[in-house]
A and B are shown apart, each in its own frame.
Chain A
Amino acid sequence: MLKTKDLSYWYQDASQPLFKDVNLEFEVGQSYAILGHSGTGKTTFLSLIAGLDRPKDGEIFLGDRSLKKIGLTNYRRHDVAIVFQAYNLFTYMSPLDNLLTAMAITNAEHAGDKAYAGQILRDLGIGEDLITRNVQHLSGGQQQRVAIARTMACDAKLVVADEPTGNLDEDNTNAVIAQFQKIAHDQQKCVIIVTHEPDVAAQCDHQYRLENKQFTQLA
């Protein structure tokens, strides 16, 4: 579904590229974990496949269309959903409004459907009393679950997450990863998670490690 072709990236002021000639393929219905030491370029890679930045060399294809052709804004709106480590939500809204807003912006199939959004939140353990409360009054784990619920409420087939469990305790981490697995398997989406926790990576279907400018698949 998502393919990188000879993907390279380097920062203007760096002497070496972060990664070079990366050729990877990601499929729907699967979850992928990307491991690697700090500063190797995991987040940078993710920003490229999330359509937040342009590669310096090479191309990314969604199906048979390159991101360049689709247009990054268009790609972000319709094809990819992103979960950040923090600051995922609109702080002045309730969980429900966060979902409805994202659904409206991305023109999702269920846009405007409050019951649908509410059901997703409840499935993720955001109780009735929390749904209409301001998100700032939710715990870190609850907020992260709302962010995951948002990706589920939207239609994008590709879900990318950068250290989504970085701020969570073990229980919350396991719950969140279980949700990502459900998204991949039940919703038939493609989930790509960047993490530095081997335990988290182990729960995903595939694991890659970014090392020496190259991605290597772990057995």
Chain B
Amino acid sequence: MNFCKRAWLNVWAKKGRSILLILVSAAILMFVLAGLLIRSAAIKATNQAKADVGATVTLSANRQAAFKQMRKSSSSSSSTSSRPKLTLTPVKLSDATKIAKLSNVGSYNVTSTTSANAKSYDTVSTSTGMGGSNSGGPGGMKSGSSSSGDTQIDGVTATSLTSDFSDKQSKIVKGRGITASDKNTNHVVIEKELASQNNLSVGDTMTFKQTTGSKTTVKVKIVGIYKASSSSSSTAGPMSTDPSNTVYTSYTLANSIKGSKYAGTADSVTFNVTTPSKVSSVKKAGNQLISTSKYTLSTDDASYQTVKASMSSVESFANKIVWLVAIAGTIILALIVILMIRERRFEIGVLLSLGEARWKIVAQFFTEMIMVLVVALAIAGAGGKFVGNQLGSQLVSQTATTTQTTSTTSGQPGGGNQGGGQPGGQSGHTGGPGSSSNSTTKADTKLAITVSAVDLAELGGFGLAITFLSIMIASGGILRLEPRKVLIS
């Protein structure tokens, strides 16, 4: 191709001009690259965060339907003597196993919460002096048939699956946590305060007394001691007892303390959704499997949404940079190219007088710019990482503050256990959407800026498009130039 040779001869002979062009192009490409890098880092971080924060679907009794049912029965019965009764149907574990088999559902945690009274030990009384140790919870509108014990018993599948432990609000300090293998055992994990106050350690036994029914004594074995951080106590909200009085057991033990009719049930089952964006489809599929009049599936993807929102703002900002720089770069480069081409009108005239095709003249200029672009690309690749890092860290420090603000506010409504407590008190700790977002989102807003081959290819594409557009804009003059003009001037 003769025009390629001409292009090369021109670029080589006019080194000074070529170097200037390379520098201008490199500067433009550097900014485009910075934008691309931030954008791809934001996408990567978002995906990472999405995978990390996770989202959950919780199966529990349909409280709203139960209330409705209660109101209906109270209004229909003419006599006011019978007290309206709120009947909550405990979740059946057979339903839970069905839901667990749905796609996108990972592990699940069964929660069965109840309370018992201390027998062989003393409970920890709240330092703020909210009533004595045995005062029992004020517990809102409790159904009168049951009384609440001073020790809260959280029956779970595994402690590691609870939000308190996964968020590191609570930590095992001695022994081990409750695991799936503790099913049908009397193993418990107690809080450090409670342990030290009663001189209990791993391997010791302790006894509770049931709050209802036959009020039998239950003997349990301590397999681990955990430490609850002070912040977790705040989420406990209006609960009566000190958070140190929470004892973790397998849900089977909690069920048996509740009473024999609670076997194979749970207060709620929380499913981890492996792909957070699929939360609603999991909920939809799950609803097909359960009786929605008795049970409800509630979703919690607040932290996922928080991460998504903050990252998408970074992403859209990066997108704006990319396009803004690309447009500005095209304009700048086009102006330079137009000036250059005007200067070369004699050369164009000679080419035309030799019978050269106009498109080949345009192709020559394009080839010259491509040569410039290749060198500029290499420079931009090296420099863009630097610019991207600067911009990236600037951005992150901004978004990190935003994220934190959002997560604090979203953490507030935690622990709201509206309405009557179930026998044994369904504690607030299952509620609290967003309470888990605090620790996760902060870690995920780091932007890893690396220049990959894909980034460079994308940058090359942008450079090509910018160059192509510039030449096209500038060559309007070439295509209109009459060769006679060279002769007359």
Interface residues in chain A, defined as those with a beta carbon under 8 Å from any beta carbon in chain B: 43, 46-47, 50, 52-53, 73-78, 82, 84, 87-93, 97, 101-102, 104-106, 134, 162
Q: What residues of A have a CB within 8 angstroms of the CB of B350 in the complex?
A: 84, 87-90
Instruction: Give the interface SS of chain B, mostly helix, strand, loop or mixed.
Output: helix
Assess the B355–A73 pair: CB atoms within 8 A: yes
Instruction: List 6 A-B pairs, Cβ < 8 Å.
Output: A52-B484, A52-B487, A73-B355, A91-B13, A92-B14, A104-B2
Contacts of B2 in A (CB 8 A): 101, 104-105
Return B385 CB to nearest CB of chain A, in Å.
35
A91 CB contacts on chain B under 8 angstroms: 13, 347
Whether A134 lies near B354 (C-beta < 8 A) is no
B481 to chain A minimum Cβ distance, whole angstroms, is 11
A102/B354 contact (C-beta < 8 A), A52-B484, A92-B13 known: yes
Q: Which residues of B contact A82 (CB under 8 A)?
A: 353, 487
Q: How far is the CA of A162 from the CA of B488 in the complex (A)?
A: 9
Shortest CB-to-CB span from A103 to chain B, Å, is: 10
Q: Which 5 residue pairs spanning A and B have beta carbons closest together?
A: A77-B355, A92-B13, A76-B355, A87-B346, A52-B484
- What's the minimum C-beta distance from A149 to chain B, rounded to whole angstroms? 14
Residues of B within 8 A of A106 (CB): 354-355
Q: Which residues of A contact B353 (CB under 8 A)?
A: 50, 52, 76, 82, 84
Which residue on chain A has the smallest CB distance to residue B12?
A92
B482 pairs with A52, CB closer than 8 A: yes
Question: Across the interface, which residues of A come within 8 angstroms of B87, CB to CB?
Answer: none
Residues in A with CB closer than 8 Å to B479 are none
A90 and B347 in contact (CB under 8 A), knowing A52-B484, A52-B487? yes
Answer whether A46 and B355 are a contact pair too, CB < 8 Å, given A52-B482, A87-B346, A101-B2: no
> Is the pair A84, B486 in contact by a Cβ cutoff of 8 Å?
yes
Which residues of chain B from 1 to 51 have a CB within 8 Å of any chain A CB? 2, 5-6, 9-10, 12-14
Q: Closest CB-CB distance, B353 to chain A, in whole Å? A: 5
B173, CB-defined interface residue at 8 Å: no
Q: Assess whether A105 is in contact with B356, with CB atoms less than 8 Å apart.
A: yes
Q: Are A105 and B352 in contact (CB under 8 A)?
A: no
With a 10 A CB-CB cut-off, give which of A43, A53, A90 has the most chain B CB atoms: A90
Residue B357 CB within 8 A of the other chain: yes
Assess whether B351 is interfacial by the CB under 8 Å rule.
Answer: yes
CA distance A47 to B484 in the complex (A): 6
Q: How far is the CA of A38 from the CA of B350 in the complex (A)?
A: 24
Q: Which A residues touch B432, using CB under 8 A?
A: none
Asked if B136 CB lies within 8 Å of chain A CBs, one says: no
Given A92-B13, A93-B9, A52:B354 Cβ within 8 A = no
